[in-house]
Structure 1
């Protein structure tokens, strides 16, 4: 089997491993294997192919991986996601909310809810504001007082 083909197979295996790990290390090795492929296609000896693999992989690990990892892990300033995006939104009560139980509808989603204070209750149809999320339960307060 041709050396360039073996390098391409190795590159594909590294990419498949990267999909499973998601750490951007195996992807850099895949780039190194592409470097080995180029040298093999140019007619370089196996030792030169290995050196190309090592050098390209090391450069990618030292230069590209940190930048790519930082880019993937960065968040847009002011952008919130997950349950944090619910805080401050208003919702409609679908089952009376008190200090221990209740249900609210936020957009198309229905959440379990409880009121912020012990004596506070909200009947069905009331508009409330989500103050925080505690596990899978929204803690709500009066939308008019807080808005």
Structure 2
């Protein structure tokens, strides 16, 4: 027990290093937070010789790191943009009318280099050939489009 009291800060630092290295295997940031608590215990052991105080400080720091630091880090590291595949990825894209779209008759638009069957959204809108449109939704093989008032629209590639 005397050895531990004489080398308390080294023991906590060693525990912190072991936990940090073990984190490389788990990659869950749990052991890293415990390693942070061990480092806090090591710093406390430099100030006091009390094992009880260093254990309390290390435990409190570990709990604090696990509760306050780990959740935002996990969200930031594991989160990312949603991946949208297939026709749903065309929503928000712009295109050009290649066949007129009438109020109750479908026409065709060119979106991203592909020709799509299209209906107007709202259904009362008539779209002329060459008019710029934006995809509102895709239902099956039909694009629901609305007119766009941007004359500088270039056809999407």
TM-score, L = length of structure 1: 0.51
In structure 1, the residue matched to 2:121 is: none
In structure 2, the residue matched to 1:22 is: 27
Say if 2:68 is the partner of 1:54.
no
For the 8 Å contact 2:20–2:31, the answer to whether it is kept is yes
Paired residues in the alignment total 82
Give the Cα–Cα distance (whole angstroms) in 2 for the partners of residues 40 and 8 of structure 1: 10
2:37 to 32, 36, 61: 32
Higher alpha-carbon Rg: 2
| CA RMSD in angstroms, aligned pairs only | 2.2
Give the Cα–Cα distance (whole angstroms) in 2 for the partners of residues 16 and 53 of structure 1: 18
C-alpha displacement of 1:44: 4.0
Give the Cα–Cα distance (whole angstroms) in 1 for the partners of residues 44 and 8 of structure 2: 10
SS at match of 1:23: coil
Q: Show structure 1 runs of 4+ deviating over 6 A.
A: none
1:67 to 63, 72, 80: 72
Give the Cα–Cα distance (whole angstroms) in 1 for the partners of residues 40 and 77 of structure 2: 25
Give the Cα–Cα distance (whole angstroms) in 2 for the partners of residues 21 and 9 of structure 1: 19
